[in-house]
Structure 1
Amino acid sequence: MSGGGGALRPLGLTSLKPGEYACERCGVAVPTPIDAAREYQVIAKIGGGFPGGNAPRPSGAMYVVRMGLCEVCTARDESAREVLKAHPRIQRLSGAESTGLHRIAQVLDALAVLGRTADLTPALSDQAVLAAINLLMAEGSAVRWMARFAPVIEAGAQEGSCAVEPWLHVDTTARLGLREAYGRWMLARAGLRPRIPCPDPSGGCMFCGVSWIDGGEWRAASVRPSSVGGFGPEPLRGHLCTLCAEAVDSAGALGRTALEFSLVAALGVPGVKFTGGGDDLGGLIQLHGLRAWAAVNAQPGHRRVKPCAEPWGFIADSTRDALREQLMGREGLTADV
């Protein structure tokens, strides 16, 4: 690609060499085969920049720009995948895995400009990650190299240019905005409850198997195996997360009803409760085969089920989705788990 002749580049930018494309995120030059380049449809506007120093195009004209993706930015996408995997609730709220990944990757790009990507980790609480998405996602999208071109090309942007170093194209005003957004996120995190891991040696809630809670306290508990779908004379001992402890309080005892209350609460269907009232579906729940996580792991010869990133995560996604659909229709639940 041409760098537009001997045109003077802004400070921090340089011309691409033949066979190179600018990384769509950080802007550095990336050797990229043409069949591996990413293509974007962009719109020219009056006063905008134009590809390779070519003659101006009329306002509203469409053309294609090609970009690459450097190894560092590719690795950051893997970090986004790890964060999303540790927060299934955020994936559900996003509607699709690809959407959740896109949002978290934008947050990480914003943090990359500030050199703070290590601040967003899988160990953060759901609230902390959601706060990062709300406060930093738009900032991360705006500082990407591709934002100079798509959907409308910025004034002075040229396809034949790239950043001398990662993110060097980000101007002072944008960096100040990033720092302010980052500061708001730090303040938000300071007011959030910390993620607390299960203190039990098993590593998970004895009912739902979740490995952490967002604040609150774990409750020590002991129950007969037969009461929660298990076998044997020895009681099961462990800890309950806040969700399962509340389910036990609502049910009035440690047992199968508390298991069902906990599972349905974890499904997150609005308006469903078990404390009495018009939307109380407690009497309509019949979940055959539902067993506590501790009971599953106590079964002789059974392969151990690892602690979960979310309550009842050891139950198949398809089963939980089917149960959620039944609840949304206020049909009650009658199913094999």
Structure 2
Amino acid sequence: MPNRPFETDPNARDYQPIVTLPPEWLPCDGCGLALPIPEQVGPPRELTSYERVLPPDAPPLVGRPRPRPFFTTMSRCTDCSARSEQAAALVKQYPRAIATSEFSFHGSHAVEQLERVLAGLAIIEQAPTIKNARAMHLLMETMLPATSAILWSSRFAPVALRDAKSKTGTARPWAHLRADDATRMRQAYATWLRRRTEVPRPHPHPDGSGCYICGIGEYVAETTGAAWQPVRLNPGVLGGQWGAPVVEAHVCADCRAVHADIGAWGPTLLDKLVLQAAGVQPLADAHDLQPNGVQAWGTTGRKRPNPTPFEHVNLAQLADDVRSGAFL
């Protein structure tokens, strides 16, 4: 590391992990490293932060002052810039794998999330080779929760930490992190190493019935948690009786993945899934078709699970209708 006007040896008596920046220096928005002008990569960017003005136990909405904004300018170091390019290349290679069990990420958002994961791997000195989409998806699933707040910029946006101050940076890369941050990342990485070698196998529905949406009774995955997710659903928007109480049910990973793209458990999700099951999704998309009267399996009153998704729907007739133009 080039000479700095502050101590960079963590074993030195006067070492401080977070330092005040000299004039014209900027922090890296990733690792936090204080950067002189020659080491700043790309144009600076300004973050708007809001001060955390009340203690966590303050009564809500009673005499609460408005959060005060302040602005912090950041740049990027060479290593973090290269990591961003690596993330962009991986997103292009595995566009559908940049996801967790609850969320799918796309475009620049996918790059940003993957950057955090790659940064976490660099911090714990790991550089695994990603050979397929499954390995990438598992890496996101296991590492993202442990790396979601590790970036220097995470200290400032949208609400700043109490000790986050503009015109500061770190004496060494990632010096703002605590020892337990690295511990969590090592544990997450160990989980990924274990899960990527697990052989997928059929996992039956947790209570022996079927996915509330498509009705299948078992799902092939590494673990039960990867196959089934508990959710709260409104039967009235899924083909059931209006006014029926909210139910707690399990859905399979395929239905959950479509929900991550659409964002709601409702008729749009049912239409997309049933057209996929009928094998006519591309044709339907071409004409923006919306089948009517599709029911989620859980609203039909059936007890026996479906051997294949949406077998309780006449998929053959639906496919014929789409191909013949009956919806047009």
TM-score for the superposition, normalised by structure 2: 0.52
Q: Which moved more, 1:162-171 or 1:146-155?
A: 146-155
Q: Quote the Cα distance in structure 2 between the aligned partners of 1:39 and 1:322.
A: 45
Kindly state the Cα deviation for residue 152 of structure 1 after the two structures are TM-superposed: 2.0
Q: Structure 1: which 5+ residue stretches go unaligned?
A: 49-57, 194-213, 215-268, 274-278, 286-319
Choose which of 14, 21, 24 in structure 1 pairs with 2:26: 21
Q: Quote the Cα distance in structure 2 between the aligned partners of 1:98 and 1:321.
A: 26
Aligned equivalent of 2:274: 271
Aligned equivalent of 1:114: 124
Q: Quote the Cα distance in structure 1 between the aligned partners of 2:52 and 2:146.
A: 23
TM-aligned CA distance change 1:46 to 1:89, over 3 Å: closer
Aligned equivalent of 1:30: 35
TM-aligned CA distance change 1:272 to 1:171, over 3 Å: same
Kindly state the Cα deviation for residue 80 of structure 1 after the two structures are TM-superposed: 0.8
2:103 is the counterpart of 1:100: no
Q: Quote the Cα distance in structure 1 between the aligned partners of 2:163 and 2:179.
A: 16
Choose which of 93, 97, 105 in structure 2 pairs with 1:86: 93
Kindly state the Cα deviation for residue 324 of structure 1 after the two structures are TM-superposed: 4.5
RMSD: 3.9
The alignment partner of 2:83 has SS state of helix
- Cα pair 1:326 1:333 within 8 Å, conserved: no
The alignment partner of 1:89 has SS state of coil
Q: Quote the Cα distance in structure 1 between the aligned partners of 2:150 and 2:21.
A: 20
How many aligned positions are there? 203
Kindly state the Cα deviation for residue 101 of structure 1 after the two structures are TM-superposed: 1.5
- Cα pair 1:43 1:60 within 8 Å, conserved: yes
TM-aligned CA distance change 1:12 to 1:158, over 3 Å: same
Aligned equivalent of 1:128: 135
2:158 is the counterpart of 1:151: yes
Aligned equivalent of 2:174: 167
2:198 is the counterpart of 1:188: no
Q: Quote the Cα distance in structure 1 between the aligned partners of 2:14 and 2:166.
A: 12
What amino acid sits opposite 1:270 in the alignment? L
Superposition pairs for residues 194-273 of structure 1, below 5 Å? 270-272=273-275
Q: Structure 2: which 5+ residue stretches go unaligned?
A: 6-12, 56-64, 201-220, 222-271, 292-320
TM-aligned CA distance change 1:65 to 1:321, over 3 Å: farther
TM-aligned CA distance change 1:20 to 1:38, over 3 Å: same
Q: Quote the Cα distance in structure 2 between the aligned partners of 1:90 and 1:328.
A: 27
What amino acid sits opposite 1:22 in the alignment? P
The alignment partner of 1:166 has SS state of coil
2:80 is the counterpart of 1:70: no
The alignment partner of 2:163 has SS state of coil
TM-aligned CA distance change 1:84 to 1:47, over 3 Å: same
What amino acid sits opposite 1:130 in the alignment? H
What amino acid sits opposite 2:123 in the alignment? V
Q: Quote the Cα distance in structure 2 between the aligned partners of 1:10 and 1:334.
A: 74
TM-score for the superposition, normalised by structure 1: 0.50
Aligned equivalent of 2:322: 332
